Chain A
Amino acid sequence: MVSSKTAGDRIFNVVNTIILLILTFSCLYPIVYTLSLSLSSKEAVDGGKVVLWPIGFTLRSYKLIMQDDAFFHSVYVSVIRVVVGTTLNLFCMVLMSFPLSKTTQEYKPRNAIMWLLVFVMLFNGGTIPWYMTVRNYGLIDTIWALIFSGSISVFNIFLIVSFFRQIPQSLEEAAIVDGAGPWTVLFKVIIPISKPVLATVLLFVSVGYWNEYLQGLLFINSPANYPLQTYIKQIVVKISADISYTTEQLQELTKNSNQALDAAKVFISMVPMLIFYPFIQKYFVTGITLGAVKG
Chain B
Amino acid sequence: MKEKKKGGRSGYNTLHYTLMIIPGLVWIVMFSIVPMVGIVMAFEDFSPSKGWFGSPWVGLENFEYLSRLKDVRKVLVNTLVIASGKMICNLIIPIVFAILLNEVKNMKFKKPVQTIVYLPHFISWVILANIISTMLGYRGVVNVIFGWFGYEPQVFLGNPSIFRGLLIGTDVWKEFGYGAVIYLAALSGIDPNLYEAAAIDGAGRFQLIRHITLPSLAPTIVLMATLSLGNILNGGFDQVFNLYNASVYSTGDIIDTWVYRIGLVKVQYSLASCAGLLKSVVSLIMISVSYLLAHQFANYSIF
Judge whether A251 and B182 touch: CB under 8 Å: no
| Complex interface: chain B residues within 8 A of A34 (CB) | 131, 134
Q: Write the nearest CB–CB distance from B150 to chain A, whole angstroms.
A: 15
Which of B64-72, B76-84, B210-218, B256-264 makes up part of the contact surface?
B256-264
Instruction: List 7 A-B pairs, minimum CB-CB distance, nearest first.
Output: A129-B38, A126-B276, A211-B124, A96-B24, A99-B17, A125-B35, A92-B24
B interface, CB within 8 angstroms of A: 10, 12-14, 16-18, 20-21, 23-25, 27-28, 30-39, 41, 48, 51-52, 97, 100-101, 103-104, 109, 112-113, 115-120, 122-124, 126-135, 137-141, 143-145, 147, 153, 155, 157-158, 173, 176-177, 181-182, 185, 196, 199-200, 202, 204-205, 238, 241-247, 256, 259-261, 263-265, 269, 272-273, 276-277, 279-280, 283-284, 287-288, 299-303
Apart from A129-B273, A281-B115: 18 A-B pairs, beta carbons within 8 A: A6-B204, A9-B204, A16-B103, A16-B104, A20-B113, A47-B139, A48-B138, A95-B24, A99-B21, A126-B279, A130-B38, A133-B30, A149-B31, A236-B130, A244-B245, A247-B155, A250-B155, A273-B119
Contact A117 B276 (CB under 8 A): no
Listed by A's residue number, 16 A-B pairs whose Cβ atoms lie within 8 Å are A8-B205, A17-B109, A33-B134, A33-B135, A48-B140, A95-B21, A95-B23, A108-B14, A123-B36, A127-B260, A132-B48, A151-B32, A211-B126, A233-B242, A236-B133, A254-B137
Known contacts: A99-B17, A133-B34. The answer to whether A127 contacts B127 by CB under 8 A is no
Residue in B120, B127, B259 whose Cβ sees the most chain A Cβ within 10 Å:
B127
The smallest beta-carbon distance between A185 and chain B, in angstroms, is: 10
Q: Are A128 and B301 in contact (CB under 8 A)?
A: no
Partner of A132, one of B52, B101, B119, B157: B52
Q: Verify B28–A123 contact, CB threshold 8 A.
A: no
* Chain B positions within 8 Å of A16 at CB level: 100, 103-104
Contact residues of A with B, CB < 8 Å? 1-3, 6, 8-9, 12-13, 16-17, 19-20, 23-24, 26-28, 30-31, 33-34, 37, 45-51, 91-93, 95-96, 98-100, 102, 106-109, 113-114, 117-118, 120, 122-137, 148-152, 154, 157-158, 161-162, 181-183, 186, 207, 210-214, 218, 229-230, 232-233, 235-236, 239-245, 247, 250-251, 254, 259, 262-263, 266, 269-270, 273, 277-278, 281, 284-285, 288-289, 292-293, 295
Query: Is chain B's interface secondary structure helix, strand, loop, or mixed overall?
Result: helix
* Partner of B17 from A48, A125, A182, A241 at Cβ < 8 Å: A182
Alpha-carbon separation in the docked complex, A263 to B13 (Å): 55
> Residue A289 contacts which of B25, B120, B131, B181 (CB distance < 8 angstroms)?
B181
Answer whether A218 and B264 are a contact pair too, CB < 8 Å, given A9-B205, A99-B17, A128-B41: yes
* Bound CA span A289–B173, Å: 21
**Which residue among B31, B143, B173, B300 has the maximum number of chain A CB atoms within 10 Å of its CB?**
B31
Q: Is the CB of A129 within 8 A of B35?
A: yes
Instruction: Name the A residues within 8 Å of B200 (CB-CB).
Output: 1, 3
Closest to B12 in A: A181
Partner of A33, one of B115, B141, B272: B141
Chain A residues lying within 8 Å of B140, measured Cβ to Cβ, are: 48
B residues near A133, Cβ cutoff 8 Å: 30-31, 34-35, 38
Set of chain A residues within 8 Å of B247, measured between Cβ atoms: 244-245
Chain A contacts for B10, CB-based, 8 A = 106
Residue from A31, A118, A230, A232 within 8 A of B130 (CB atoms): A232
Residues of B within 8 A of A250 (CB): 138, 155, 158
CB within 8 Å for A239 and B32 given contacts A17-B104, A128-B259, A213-B124: no
Q: How far is the CB of A217 from chain B (nearest CB, A)?
A: 9
**A181: chain B residues within 8 A (beta carbon):** 12, 16
Residues from chain B with a CB closer than 8 A to the CB of A247 are: 138, 155
Establish whether residues A92 and B23, one from each chain, have CB atoms under 8 Å apart when the complex forms.
yes
Nearest chain A CB to B119's CB is how many angstroms away? 6
Whether B130 lies near A117 (C-beta < 8 A) is: no
Instruction: Contact check, A259 vs B135: say whether CB atoms are below 8 A apart.
Output: no
- CB within 8 Å for A124 and B119 given contacts A95-B20, A182-B17, A244-B246: no
**Within the complex, which residue of B14, B24, B181, B277 is in contact with A288, where a contact is CB–CB below 8 Å?**
B181
